[in-house]
Amino acid sequence: KRIAVFVSGGGSNYKAIQAAIDAGKVNGEVVAVISDKPGCKATEFASEKGVHVSAYPKSAKFAPEGLSAEDLVQLLREKKVDIVLLAGFLKLLPAELVKAFPQAILNIHPALLPAFGGKGFYGLRVHSAVIKSGAWFSGPTVHFIDENYDAGVIVAQRIVRVLPTDTPEELQARVLKEEHYLYPIVVSALCDGRIRWRDDGVPILEDYM
């Protein structure tokens, strides 16, 4: 399958997916990277790999001088993209784009949704909130996206114990490790059509329970 990755920062999840592709564990190819932060580590990695990087529209409202939502959809169509992966991408996707790729856009979030998600829950803030709550468990969630932040049906999660002594940085590092394990597994299943849709619209990973 042909994959587009949306990034804003470190790009470690993008790298984990690329590594899984290189190792033959994911039947896909990253054909486009879209970034709202040109020059970030993730876009540098894309350039090193020879993948074309496009700048995401600056204005949340898709200002006429920038790439419009339609342009963005057009770009993905031209590149014959099948699957869109958000990997540390901090902006909301326009509704047009979400509609254009039904059951084909995934996001990874560093906490157990539906808790600790939504606007404002990103980066270390997520882990601080988890620690502050006293929750014993955290871990990454991979979910299909809809038009809201961190919403949309959950495909897979992993559990990380929150230790009483954890700093947000320590918890973040342990969760991130599990993200790098989990995201390629789900992407592989999506590429191979191994995700089954239950009647109520919940996706089931056939071989990862």
Q: State the minimum distance, in angstroms, from the CB of residue 11 to ligand GRF.
A: 5
143 is catalytic: no
From residue 169, alpha-carbon distances to 113, 130, 172, 200, 206 in Å are 19, 12, 5, 37, 33
CA dihedral 91, 94, 97, 102 (to 10 degrees): 90
H helices of the chain, in order, are: 12-22, 41-48, 69-78, 95-100, 124-133, 168-192
Query: Which among 5-13, 49-57, 61-69, 76-84 is the span making contact with ligand GRF, rule CB under 6 A?
Result: 5-13
Rank residues 28 and 110 by Cβ distance to ligand GRF and give the closer one: 110
**Of the candidates 108, 187, 190, 191, which one interacts with ligand GRF according to CB under 6 A?**
108
Q: Are 103 and 144 in contact (CB under 8 A)?
A: yes
Q: Is 5 in the site for ligand GRF (CB under 6 A)?
A: no
Number of residues that bind ligand GRF (CB under 6 A): 13
Residue in this structure with the two tokens 């991408």, named with its chain if needed: 89
Binding span for ligand GRF by CB under 6 A among 26-34, 46-54, 105-113, 161-169: 105-113
Question: Hey, which residues between 139 and 178 contact ligand GRF (CB under 6 A)?
Answer: 176
Binding to ligand GRF (CB under 6 A) within 8-37 occurs at 9-13
**Distance in Å, CB of 86 to ligand GRF, minimum:** 7
DSSP 3-state percent helix, strand, coil across the chain (nearest 5): 35, 20, 45
Q: Which residues are catalytic?
A: 109
Q: Which residues of this chain interact with ligand GRF, rule CB under 6 A?
A: 9-13, 42, 87-88, 108-110, 176, 179
